[in-house]
Amino acid sequence: MTDKHQTLKGQIEEEISSFVKNYEAKTEISTKWGQPLVGFADAKHPFILNLKNIISSQHELPTDILNDASIVLAYYIPFTKELAKTNSTKHRLASSQWALAYEETNAMFKYLNQHIIEYLNSKGYNAAISKESSTFSTEKLISNWSHRHFAYIAGLGTFGINNMLITKSGCCGRFFTIVTNLDIVPDRPMVNELCLYKKNGSCKICLKNCPVGALTELGYNRTKCYTMLKENAAVYTEFGSSYFDETLTTANSTGSEVCGKCITSSPCAF
Ligand code: B12
Ligand code: SF4
Ligand code: SF4
Task: Write out the H or E segment, with its range, that includes residue 226.
Answer: helix 222-235
Reply yes or no on domain 3-194 having CATH 3.40.109.
yes
Give the Cα-Cα-Cα angle 72, 73, 74 (nearest 5 degrees). Answer: 110
At 203-234, the pLDDT tens digits run 999 999 999 999 999 999 999 999 999 999 99
pTM of the model: 0.95
Q: In 3D, which of 101, 106, 113 has the Cα closest to residue 134?
A: 106
Centre of ligand 2 from the C-alpha of residue 270, in Å: 11
Over 60: is that where the pLDDT of 249 sits? no
Q: Which of 194, 268, 270 to mutate to test the pocket of ligand 2 (most atoms within 8 A of CB)?
A: 268
Centre of ligand 2 from the C-alpha of residue 51, in Å: 25
Over 70: is that where the pLDDT of 32 sits? yes
Over 60: is that where the pLDDT of 142 sits? yes
Task: Write out the H or E segment, with its range, that includes residue 152.
Answer: helix 147-153
Over 90: is that where the pLDDT of 244 sits? no
At 83-124, the pLDDT tens digits run 999 999 999 999 999 999 999 999 999 999 999 999 999 999
Are 184 and 3 in contact by the 8 Å Cβ rule? The answer is no
Sequence spans of domains, the chain:
3-194
Q: Which of 171, 194, 195 to mutate to test the pocket of ligand 2 (most atoms within 8 A of CB)?
A: 195
Q: In 3D, which of 68, 165, 210 has the Cα closest to residue 125?
A: 68
